[in-house]
Amino acid sequence: MSKNLVIVESPAKAKTIEKYLGKEFHVLSSVGHIRSIAKKTKDGTPPIDVKNNFKTTYEIDSEKKKTITELKKATKAAETVWLATDEDREGEAIAWHLCEVLGLDPTKTKRIVFHEITKSAIEEAVKNPRTVDMQLVQAQQARQILDRLVGFELSPVVWQKVPGGKSAGRVQSPAVRLLVEREREIQAFEGNFQFKVTAEFTHEGVTVKAELPQRFDTEEEAQKFLASLEGAQFTVSDITTSPSKRNPGAPFTTSTLQQEANSKLGFGARATMSSAQKLYQAGKITYMRTDSVNLSGQALAATAEYIKSTFGPEYSEVRKFKTKSASAQEAHEAIRPTDMRLEKGSTNEYDQKLYDLIRRRTLASQMAPAKLEKTTVTIAISSSNLAFEAKGEVVIFDGFLKVYGGGKKDPDLLPALATNDTLGLETASARQTFSRPPARFTEGSLVKKLEDLGIGRPSTYATIINTIQVRGYAEKGEGEGQERDVIVLSTDGTSVEREVVQEKTGSDKGKLVPTSIGMMIADFLGDHFDQVIDYGFTADVETEFDQIATGALARNVMLEKFYEPFHKLIVNSGGIDRAQVAQATPIGNDPKTGKMIFARIGRFGPMLQLGDAKNPDGTDADEKPQFAPMPKGFRVDTVTLEEALKAFKLPRLVGETPEGYPMKANIGRFGPYIQVDNPETKTKLFISIKPLDPHTVTHEEALQFYADKLKAEAEKNIADFGDGIKVLNGRYGPYVTNGTKNAKIPKDVEPNEITHEQAKEMLEKAPEAKGRFAKRKTATKKAPAKKAATKKPAAKKK
C-alpha cells in the first residue's frame, strides 16, 4: 500500500491525478458529497436544532456507505492523507465531512487545491498544502441550512395552500418571479407599427442597398412618399468614412460560458456544466465554477507565444481583465484550456464544441482589436427634402475576429462612389414593422439576469434553472408563433403597388415560459412570503455568505437574522384561504347551455370547468360541473373561449373498430389518446395517439394505432389460463404472474410450452412481492401484534 492517500471528488479525476503523482501516491474518490443533513434523528431532536445554535445532524448517504468503508480502510493503511476535493465552498465542505467520517483532524490534515489538472499544477499543490478552511465550510453550511429550513417549512405550506404546488426554494422562487414578471410585461405590452422604407439603386451595374432613416406612422404617409419617387432624380450628396475598433470580450466565467454556450451552441445551463465538468476532469480546461476573468501569468505567456507563432506578432495583445465580482470566491482564474496548443479537447462531439468555444474565447481575449472602416453614403431625392442612406463596413484588420465572432453575416460592401454621382432606382418598398414586446428569457439570458441581480453563484445557476423546470413552474416553449398580416407597399418608380403578406410573430421556441402553476406560486409567495422572492433580500443573503467565507460575519448571526422573521410568516400562514389562492378565472359562457366556463388549477394542473358546483345562494347546483384538460400551449390566464369550447367537444367519436367497438378520441393527463370500449368483456383499452390532435385524428389513423396496440398486446401475452394466471413477455423477458405475484421463468423452459400446473408451481416458489403488495402484507401482520399486546396485562392480573 502507498504511503500517501489522496482523496478527490470524482473517479475520472482520480485516474488522471494518480498518473501524475506516481507510485508513492494512491488516489481514491469520494464520488461527490458523502453526507447530507439527516431527515430525522434517533433522539427526536430536529436535524437542524434552531434553538441550539442551529446544531446540525448529518447522516451518510445510503449509496455512499460502501465508498466510506473503502476510504476508512485506505486511511488506516496510509501514513499521510491528502484531501484534494474541488477548490470551491462545496469542495471545502466535502473535505471537512471526510475528516469527520474518517476520523481525521481538520486542523492538521493536508488539504491541497489546484485550478487545473496538469502535472505541474498537481506537483505545485503538493508542495504547498494547507488545512481545511473552516470559514469556507461555514459559508457552505449556512447556505445548506438556510435552503433546508426554507424548503422544509415553506414547501408544506405550498402543498396545502396552492393546488399543484410542489415546493418553494430560497433561490428558485425569485427565478420563477423573474419569468412571471416578464410574461406579464409581454401580456400588458401594447404594440404599435410604423412603415420602414428601403430601396435598391444601381450604379454602373452594381446594386446599392439603402434605407430611409425616418419611419412613417401611417400607410397614407408611406404611400405619399413612395408616390413622390416617381420620376425623381437620385444623387450622391455626401460620403463619410470613419474608422472604428472592436475589442474582444474577457475569458469565460461560469456565467458567461453558460450564456454563450446557450446563444452559440444551443446548450442548456445543465448540459454546459456537464460537458465542462468532463473537460476539467480530463485535464483539458481549468476549474469550471468561477467568478474570475483573471488569467495566470503562465497562461498569458503561453497564449501570447501561441498567437505570435500561429498568426503573427501583430495579432498579439496581452490583456489583464478586472473581475467585476467583489467576492470572486469560487476560484482565482477564468475558464481556459490547460494547453492552448491543443485543438482537440475531446472525442465527444458536444464536449469538443464546448472546448473549442472556450479555447477560441481565451485566444481572442489576448488578441489585437479588429480595425474596421465604416462608410455612409447619403443619397439625395430631387422630389423630397428627405434622403436615403447606404451603409457599408470594411474589415481593415481582422485581429481577434480571426478566431472569435467573425462568422456573422458579411456587412454590405459599397461600390466606389463619388459626390454628385447619379443613381438609378430599381425598387423602393415600405414595409409595416411592429414594435416588439420584451423578449422571454432563454436559459442563458436568465443566468445573466440572476448574476446582474446578485442572485445565486456559479455553482448554483444550472441547478436553479433545472429545478424550476422539473417542478413544473416553467417549461421550454415549443411554439413557432402565429401568422399576422403585414402591409408592403412597393414601387419601381412608375406606380405604387399594395400587397398583404404573412409573417410569424410571438415564437417562444427554446424560451423559458412560466406555467399556470408557476404564476400562481409567484403570486402566492409575493402576497404572503415577500421575503423569499425579494431580489434585493436574496442578493443580500448571497453577500452575507461571502462575508462568512472571509470571517467578516458569524454563521449563526446570519442564520438568526434570516430565520426569525421567516419562521413568523410560516406560523401565521394557517389563516391563508386556499380558495382565494386558487380562484377560478371566468372565460365566457357556453352558447349551448349558457353556463360559465372557468379556467382553474386542479390537483393535476390547469384545467377547464363548465358550470359551477354551487348556485349563487350557496346551495348545491342540480348538475355537476364538467371538466376538460387545458389545451396545449395555453394557461389559465391566456386560454380563449374559442379554445375552451373546443376542449369540451371531447371525447369525440372517431368511428368503430373492425369488431364494431366504438373509438373515442380524448386528451388526459398523459396526452392525447383513443379509448376503445369492449361491451362483451366490459373492458376499456386506452391507446396513446401522440403527437396527433384528438380533435382532428382520422378514423384511418385511429385504426392504425389500434392495430399496433393489439399487435403489441398479442406479443406480450404468451398464455392466459383463465383464472388470472398468465405468461407474459415483459421488459426483462417472459414471466408468470397472477396479478399480485411474479415468477421468473427458468432459461431452460420454453415460455409457450408452460402448463397451468407448472405456472402455479412457479408462483408458489417465487419470492414475496415487493412494493404496494408488500405493504398490504405488512399491514396484515400488524393486527396479531396488537392482540398479543392486549393479552399481556391480563396475564399479569392472574
Return the active site residues. Answer: 287
Reported in sequence order, the residue ranges of 409-529 that DSSP labels E, i.e. its strands, are 422-434, 474-476, 482-491, 496-505, 512-514
Which CB contacts under 8 angstroms, 24+ apart, belong to 359-363? 360/403, 360/404, 361/249, 361/251, 361/252, 361/260, 361/404, 362/251, 362/252, 362/295, 362/303, 362/334, 362/336, 362/337, 363/303, 363/306, 363/307, 363/400, 363/403, 363/404
**Other C-beta atoms within 10 Å of 791: how many?**
8
d(CA 201, CA 425): 5
Q: Residues in the chain, how many?
A: 798
DSSP code of 496?
E
Q: How many helices (H) and strands (E) does the chain have?
A: 22, 30
Nearest to 97 by CA among 39, 48, 42, 140: 140
DSSP code of 353?
H
Q: Is the dihedral of CA 551, 553, 556, 558 positive or negative?
A: negative
Angle subtended by helix axes 461-470 and 443-453, to nearest 10: 120
What residues contact residue 34 under an 8 Å CB cut-off, 6+ apart? Answer: 60, 61, 64, 67, 68, 94, 97, 98, 101
Residue position matching grid coordinates 456573422: 408
Chain centroid, CA 440 distance in Å:
14
**Other C-beta atoms within 10 Å of 772: how many?**
8
Task: Give the three-class secondary structure for 152.
Answer: helix
d(CA 447, CA 272): 12
Which CB contacts under 8 angstroms, 24+ apart, belong to 43-51? 47/148, 48/145, 48/148, 48/149, 50/149, 50/563, 50/567
d(CA 374, CA 395): 9
DSSP code of 438?
P
